[in-house]
C-alpha cells in the first residue's frame, strides 16, 4: 500500500502531493481531536 502511494507521489508534483498529504493528516488529526473532546457517537459514523 505505502509502496503504491510513494510511486504515485513521485509521479505527481512532489510539493503538491506533500501539501495534499499534510492537509489530509491535519484533517484526520482535527477530526480525532474533536471526537475525543466531545465523545459523541455522531462523530464516529
pLDDT at 15: 84
The pLDDT score that the predictor gives to residue 26 is 93
What value does the CA radius of gyration of the chain take, rounded to a whole number of Å? 15
> What pLDDT does 16 receive?
86
* pTM: predicted TM-score of the whole model, two decimal places: 0.47
From the list 18, 40, 39, 36, the residue with the least C-alpha distance to 28 is 36
Instruction: Encode pLDDT of 1-45 as tens digits.
Output: 567 776 765 666 788 888 998 999 899 999 888 888 777 666 555
* Residue 5 per-residue DSSP state: H
Are 35 and 43 contacting, i.e. CB atoms less than 8 angstroms apart? yes
State whether the Cα torsion 11-5-27-44 is positive or negative: positive
Q: Do the beta carbons of residue 31 and residue 43 sit within 8 Å? A: yes
Amino acid at each position: 500500500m505505502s509502496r503504491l502511494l510513494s510511486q504515485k507521489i513521485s509521479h505527481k508534483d512532489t510539493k503538491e502531493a506533500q501539501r495534499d498529504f499534510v492537509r489530509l493528516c491535519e484533517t484526520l488529526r482535527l477530526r480525532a481531536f474533536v471526537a475525543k473532546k466531545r465523545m459523541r457517537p455522531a462523530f464516529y459514523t
